[in-house]
């Protein structure tokens, strides 16, 4: 039993730095997308529920529309972007009663 725990610890200690490096490398692979995703997340985190309700039906700016069009044309980038922003946005919308 002790031998299995020891081997497991060794595997974790060896694997963890590689996983962390892969995560950091992956996060730095698309710096522009990262900046945009961070900006979107900050917007939701810093906005009040009232502000989000007011903005809900408003038209998007030209810049926002261009970003949406780019994401529509590139499924891989869209996937990466949504993976980065989905949880924080969904949590805020849930807190504000905007999704069930």
Q: What percent of the chain has pLDDT over 70?
A: 72
> pTM to 2 decimals?
0.67
Let me know: does 87 contact 37? Beta carbons within 8 Å.
no
Average model confidence (pLDDT) across the chain:
81
* 70-83 residue pLDDT tens: 999 999 999 999 99
| Boundaries of every domain in the chain | 31-95
**18, two tokens:** 């590689």
* 21-55 residue pLDDT tens: 444 445 568 999 999 999 999 999 999 999 999 99
């Amino acid at each position: 039993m002790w031998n299995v725990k020891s081997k497991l610890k060794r595997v974790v200690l060896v694997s963890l730095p590689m996983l962390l490096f892969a995560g950091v490398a992956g996060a730095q692979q698309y710096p522009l997308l990262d900046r945009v995703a961070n900006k979107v997340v900050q917007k939701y985190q810093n906005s009040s529920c009232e502000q989000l309700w007011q903005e809900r039906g408003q038209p998007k700016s030209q810049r926002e529309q261009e970003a949406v069009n780019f994401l529509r044309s590139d499924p891989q980038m869209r996937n990466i972007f949504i993976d980065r922003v989905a949880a924080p946005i969904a949590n805020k919308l849930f807190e504000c009663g905007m999704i069930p």
